[in-house]
Structure 1
Amino acid sequence: MEIVIQDLLAGEYRQPSRVVAFNPAERWSEDVSEDIAREIQRRCNLQLSDVPSYLQEFVDRYSPQDLQQFSLRLV
């Protein structure tokens, strides 16, 4: 998932609607959109930066509201 997150943040994919992980060897697939959105929001919070505009709708849709708080800078 790390490569997908890095590619999303780098702008490789614009306005994603969903992220699905596949494992054909074990015959399963899983919607990991919430995990990806949560991690994107977490990284942006740690960097004190906004979520890129091309990912904002995706993060709003899948990330819990409590992670979308603004970080306060200590002055």
Structure 2
Amino acid sequence: MLTELDPLLLFANIVIGSIGAGYFIYGKRQSHLLALLAGIGLITLTFIVTDLGWLCLWALVLIAAPKLLGQYF
């Protein structure tokens, strides 16, 4: 359990959650499954990961996934 709030982590959570909401809305409107799943993953990632380094790493992976894997699906 976190005893104090890290302002940088809070800011990163807001930014990553906003990008996730954008991916989710785009994926739902365009019927793009990878963007929809990446959006859901980014939103839930902000609730699960509490380390800033891991949060940024996994966020970058999920942000790049629809672009990199889109040609295969």
TM-score, normalisation: structure 1: 0.27
Higher helix fraction (1 or 2): 2
Higher strand fraction (1 or 2): 1
Larger Rg: 1
TM-score, normalisation: structure 2: 0.28
